[in-house]
Structure 1
Amino acid sequence: MPTVSFNTHFPGYEILGELGRSNARVLKARHLETGDLVAIKHFALNTDAETLRRFRFESQLMTDIRHPNVVRVREVQLDMPMPFIVMEWIEGGNLRTLLTERGHLDVPTTIRLGLQMAEAFKAIHPKGIIHRDIKPENILYRPLPSGELHFLLTDFGVARLREQSQTMTGQSLMTYEYASPEQFDNPKGVDVATDYYSLGVVFYECLSGRVPFSMADSTGMATFMNQVLRTSPPDLQLTAGQYLPPSLDTILRWTLTKNPAERLSDVDELTLLLGQANVEQLQASRTSERRAPVSTRTVAAPVSVSQPQETTYLPPVDDEPVASSNWWAVVLGVVVVGVLIALAVYYTNLRNMANRKFVPDSTATAGDSSETPSVTNDTTTTSSDYLMEESARDSSEADTPPVSTSTTEPATTTVTTAPDSTNTVPDSTQTNN
């Protein structure tokens, strides 16, 4: 921006250009000693000594405030032909420019603005400083690398001068659309509640793109003042697709209350409501973005699905019970199969052990030789030594009556260990009576 020459001299500063004019002229300058970029605001004063003294006192307080949401006042010069205030340079712009470009702000950005203005209130109100002129032109911003905006409040105490001053064009310096009702009735008796009313108007404009009451929409000053003093603000009209958190709606109603004694004017309460509004906004956005889980099979649902995953539709079923019953069926089947395998292994091992450790005796021992005509002898299931011994005896006693082999004995005869060869075979010398 080209350098602009001014008749007014600002000692210690190099004027780089004019940033704009509203109720005062704002210049971009460089501090010659440090090289810092600054913003100089100068205006014509036509006020009484008490107002000037109060402004000097509040301006001095502002030079002591170091807060990230408050534009630092570097210097105040009131004894010059054209009094001026030197403030730190903010490289972004003001909220008015932002609203002009976008038309309105989205809900998350408005909540962020409110939280940072609440922090600014914490810095100025405990020191007895009332801004009195909160509006988009007095809220600056700088863009952050994250894409978010960092907001700062500026122009403290200037409104007290404007209440009794005139611009160089002779017009009133009050910004009527953002003024609280009590500023029309008793301008000198306002308290911190007036800053909360003005902030509520800023919220309303950020969300809807327009102020609740406008001078342009009124037929005259009297009509406009009557609206501000007695008429409830029109219902907020959000752009399509925007969700207004209930807590943010509560803030709008409580800050725009006509009676300052009933108005929201506690910074902790404001911060709490803004935090709740932020949570409500996040919940609403996540609910709208959440998608139904994709199922491995398609079932009929009460709502239509634009792109079904499969072409085959099944009757409505409850996924949870089906999944549970299938799971139990699988577990039961595994248990049954395991039991059958265990039983098969057990009986197989039992049979092998019986074959290795025990020799079944299928020989049916006849009763007393005196009562039984013949002796049953099974030569097929005895051990090899026992068979050899019995064969030798059979060959030496050829005159002994033949021994009948039992073929009808059941397979469940008592299994015993191989009998001693000396007592198992009946004495061949005994003959039947």
Structure 2
Amino acid sequence: MATVYQVRHLGLRSTHALKVLSGDRARQDPDTQERFLREGRIQARLRHPNLVQVTDVVTAPSAGLVMDFVEGPTLARHCQEFGLLGQAGALEVFHQVLEAVGTAHRAGVIHRDLKPENIILGMDSRGRMQPKVADFGLAKDLGHEATQTGVVMGTPLYMSPEQIRSSKNVTVRSDIFSLGTILYELLTGRRCFHGQTNVEIMRRIQRGEFTPPEVAYPPIDRKLAAIVRRALEVEPEHRFASCEEFSATLEAASRAGTPRRSMEVPVVSVPAPAHGGAQQEEAPTLPPEPGRPEGLTSTFVRKSRVEQSLMSLVAVAGRFGLLGVLAGLLLVALLIVLAGLWTAGVSK
């Protein structure tokens, strides 16, 4: 386990994130320290705008990874507080995540712990939402494999069936499965697999038992629902072979009628599934991961709701232009004034 701190370089006056091991036992264990530094070496060689970059290490008083500081919430926290991103917003974020993970795959690295808690939503220089994939602590380096056969690593809610059996022999298609569970959440507002215990969750994953996206959230585009189902196939060979294929298939669906960008307003509530039954029971809408202290897997600075709203407004401005946003604000102000006049008239 590790903790991430916001730190400032006194000489350069720059802000960074510092990830350090938690607990005396972990800090004093040579094997744990080596795995931690291995995480840093993997992350340092991966360069992409949507990946958190490790820039340096410190060794005193214990090992620490110096990383890019990303100001923003995790994808999980954003969805908890503001609801769905909307179909266009979800796809815009997800395409960038696919590009980042694809970069890691081409470098011979499989993440093995992809989940909304490990994706941070920052902003790029043009004010657009820029997700960054973080936490390569469980990553598999195909050039230097250290995982023993039979060892299971990862977060049960997002693990592929083959990863549940053993984390040693996973391929890029295991990450594809995890990405499928993330896309499912982004489009439906519900977790794909759920249960009372981790054993129950993993059993459902291995059997492919989940509520179809179009049942969990009826407004979803049917082409997108089919793409999600393919990513969640139990057999790896039936999934997308790469992040590039996954992204290209989504692009084709967009060109066929699914909009990539629109001014969709995030919705806070999600309709319940249309049918009952064991597979159609209502799934939780992104609650915090049980037993996991906050701030352990991401560079996260909590913002107030006002700041988050302004952040979303800036994202819209970057996408549609400042004049469009100003026009929207003027329209909202006009509606508020009219509502006030109507209320005053009724009270008389």
**TM-score with structure 2 length normalisation?**
0.63
Q: Is the 8 A contact 2:75 2:121 kept in 1?
A: yes
Where does the alignment leave 5 or more consecutive residues of structure 2 unmatched? 264-348
1:37 to 1, 5, 15: 15
Point out the structure with max Rg over C-alpha: 1
Structure 1 residues 94 and 270: CA distance shift in structure 2, 3 A: same
SS of the residue corresponding to residue 70 of structure 1 reads coil
The one-character-per-residue Cα deviations of 1:204-258 (angstroms, maximum 9, x if unpaired) are 11111121112xx32x333222111113321224657x44150x22321121111
Equivalent of residue 254 in structure 1, options 226, 230, 235: 230
| C-alpha deviation, 1:138, in angstroms | 1.0
Partner of 2:2: 24
For 1:40 and 1:52, locate their aligned partners in 2 and report how far apart those are by CA, in whole Å: 15
**Residue 177 of structure 1 corresponds to which residue in structure 2?**
157
Deviation at 1:264, TM superposition (A): 1.5
Q: Which amino acid aligns with 1:152?
A: K
Q: Which amino acid aligns with 1:141?
A: L
Partner of 2:237: helix, strand, or coil?
coil
CA apart distance, 1:147? 6.1
Deviations 1:250-277, CA, capped at 9 Å, x for gaps: 3211211112233213122112112123
Report how many residues are paired.
250
- CA 1:284 to 1:243, structure 2 compared with 1: closer, same or farther past 3 Å? farther
Note the C-alpha offset of 1:159. 5.2
Q: Which amino acid aligns with 1:256?
A: L
Displacement of 1:145 in angstroms is: 7.5
Secondary structure, counterpart of 1:205 in structure 2: helix
Gaps spanning 5+ residues in structure 1: where? 1-22, 165-171, 287-433
Deviations 1:340-392 (A, max 9, x none): xxxxxxxxxxxxxxxxxxxxxxxxxxxxxxxxxxxxxxxxxxxxxxxxxxxxx
The one-letter code sitting in structure 2 at the alignment partner of 1:30 is R
Shift of 1:56: 3.7
Q: 1:49 Cα shift?
A: 6.8
8 Å contact kept, 1:139–1:153: yes
Per the alignment, residue 206 of structure 2 pairs with: 229
2:263 paired with 1:282: no
3-state secondary structure, aligned to 1:38: strand
For residue 106 of structure 2, what is the amino acid of its counterpart?
A: P
Q: How far, CA to CA, are the matches of 1:101 and 1:211 in structure 2?
A: 16
Which residue identity lines up with residue 234 of structure 1 in the other structure? T
2: distance between equivalents of 1:150 and 1:131?
A: 19
Between structures 1 and 2, the one with greater helix share:
2
2:335 counterpart residue number: none
Q: Mapping of 1:37-76 within 5 angstroms?
A: 37-44=15-22, 45=26, 56-57=37-38, 59-76=40-57
Q: How far is the alpha carbon of 1:51 from its aligned partner?
A: 7.8
Amino acid at match of 2:243: V
Letter of the 1:64 partner, please give it: R
Please list, as runs of the form range in 1=range in 2, the aligned pairs for 1:128-277 lying within 5 A after superposition.
Answer: 128-143=108-123, 148-158=128-138, 174-214=154-194, 217-218=195-196, 220-236=197-213, 237=215, 242-246=219-223, 248-277=224-253
Would the alpha carbon gap of residues 245 and 115 (structure 1) be closer, same or farther in structure 2, given more than 3 Å must change?
farther
Residues 111 and 32 (structure 1), Cα distance of their counterparts in 2 relative to 1, 3 Å cut: same
Is the CA contact (8 Å cut-off) linking 2:138 and 2:154 kept in structure 1? no
Separation in structure 1 between the aligned mates of residue 231 and residue 212 of structure 2, nearest angstrom = 14
CA distance in 1, matches of 2:61, 2:138: 17
Equivalents in 2 of 1:114, 1:263: separation in Å? Answer: 17
- SS where residue 75 of structure 1 aligns? strand
Structure 1's 109 and 177: CA in aligned 2 closer, same or farther, altered over 3 A?
same
SS in 1 for 2:230: helix
Q: Tell me how far apart the structure 1 counterparts of residues 73 and 126 of structure 2 sit (CA, whole Å).
A: 17
Q: How does 1:365-404 map to 2 (within 5 A)?
A: none
Please give the per-residue CA displacement for 1:373-430, whole angstroms capped at 9, x wherever unaligned. xxxxxxxxxxxxxxxxxxxxxxxxxxxxxxxxxxxxxxxxxxxxxxxxxxxxxxxxxx
State the identity as a percent.
31
TM-score by length of 1: 0.51
